[in-house]
């Protein structure tokens, strides 16, 4: 499998202080990864499925040091994406062709669906607890003939 890593941006992002001061050093970098691609190659970019923020293939959050991996074929890109999502379930892999068009998105659907089910079950549990608590306090209040 032939793969090479390419930086997404042509330089670092300005610091918070540079942005606030509005000085000439507050220059935002431009995306340059597409310039490094050749016809027939496919790039994989990594993002967190919850926040959409950039990640690297190791699952770590990144910003100006964001990279993409460029592969010689779509199959190689898919295989690597499946490997990364199996190791780091919170990472979604987006595969792009040499024109910058998104071809496919790969994620660990089993773990993502499990996370969603646990989250929704927790929400329903808390809604149920507050509903029964509210019904109980309303029942006590009407039994004592008080009004709101």
Query: Does the predicted model carry a pTM greater than 0.75?
Result: no
Q: Which residue has the tokens 């202080």?
A: 17
Q: What is the pLDDT of residue 141?
A: 58
pLDDT in tens, the chain (148 residues): 688 999 998 888 888 888 888 777 788 889 899 999 999 999 999 998 888 888 888 888 886 678 899 999 999 999 999 999 999 888 899 999 999 999 999 988 677 677 677 777 888 888 888 888 877 776 665 555 555 5
Beta carbons within 8 Å of 67's beta carbon, 6+ residues apart: 5, 6, 7, 8, 56, 57
- Please write the tens of the pLDDT for every residue from 3-27: 899 999 888 888 888 888 877 778 8
Q: State the first-to-last Cα distance of the chain, in angstroms, to the nearest integer.
A: 71
Q: What is the pLDDT of residue 148?
A: 52
């Amino acid at each position: 499998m032939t793969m090479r890593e390419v930086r997404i941006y042509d330089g670092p992002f300005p610091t918070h202080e540079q942005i606030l001061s509005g000085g000439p050093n507050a220059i935002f970098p431009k995306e340059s990864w597409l310039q490094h691609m050749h016809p027939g190659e496919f790039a994989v970019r990594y993002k967190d499925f919850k926040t959409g923020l950039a990640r690297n293939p190791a699952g770590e959050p990144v910003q100006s040091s964001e990279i993409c991996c460029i592969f010689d074929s779509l199959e190689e890109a898919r295989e690597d994406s499946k490997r990364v999502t199996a190791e780091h379930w919170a990472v979604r892999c987006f595969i792009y062709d040499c024109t910058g068009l998104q071809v496919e998105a790969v994620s660990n659907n089993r773990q993502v669906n499990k996370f969603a089910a646990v989250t929704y079950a927790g929400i329903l549990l808390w809604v149920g607890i507050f509903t029964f608590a509210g019904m109980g306090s309303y029942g006590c209040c009407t039994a004592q003939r008080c009004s709101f």
